[in-house]
Amino acid sequence: MKENFCLFLFLLVSVYYAQAQETVLAESMQRGAEIYTDFCVTCHLEGGEGITGTFPPLAKSDYLAQNREASIRGVKYGQQGEMTVNGVTYNNIMTPMGLDDDEIADVMNFIMNSWGNSSDEIVTTEEVLAIEK
Ligand code: HEC
């Protein structure tokens, strides 16, 4: 009986925690969507599809899915040089956009969980802060 009660409590806390995390993500994505519209959509386009050969896609991007830290670093400090995204080579320039760390976290949460993308772990301001050039 006691074990059952402990199990029940554990489940309750787990469900509560999962729901709280979902809310944090949803709110971050909402702010991130606005930042995306203001700063990213001109190159990566509305559906995150980019322009093949010029602006790499974010939607279903293998680069983004597999290079979390490098992707954040690129948005934070700018990104140039050769990179391969979904089998296509890009050698272009993304200039830094001067976003704050919390804004970068929000826009990353938006792009990493939109257009069929999904990420297990929420990007936090602390994570962005810790990423160096
Ligand atoms: C002026 C056009 C431009 C804007 C605006 C821009 N990017 Fe980029 N982005 C690029 C280019 C070009 C690259 C590839 C750079 C290279 O070839 O090294 C890139 C690469 C990336 C990558 C890694 C590659 C991939 O496709 O997964 C991510 C992630 C990314 N951008 C996110 C963003 C986000 C988020 C914003 C808005 C905050 C943004 N970009 C704004 C042009 C842009």
- Condensed to tens digits (0 to 9), the pLDDT of residues 111-127 reads 999 999 999 999 999 99
Ligand 1: which of 28, 89, 94, 104 to mutate, judged by most atoms within 8 Å of the beta carbon? 94
Closest C-alpha among 54, 97, 50, 93 to residue 64 = 50
Question: For residue 131, with 0-12 CB atoms within 10 Å meaning exposed, 13-18 middle and 19 or more buried, which class applies?
Answer: middle
pLDDT for the residue numbered 3: 82
Q: Is 49 in the pocket of ligand 1 (CB under 6 A)?
A: no
Which pLDDT tens digit goes with each residue over 35-65? Answer: 999 999 999 999 999 999 999 999 999 999 9
The CA 24 to ligand 1 mean position distance, Å, reads 25
Cα–Cα distance measured from residue 5 to residue 76, given in angstroms and rounded to the nearest whole number = 47
Q: How far is the CA of 94 from the centre of ligand 1 (A)?
A: 5
Residue 34 has pLDDT above 90, yes or no: yes
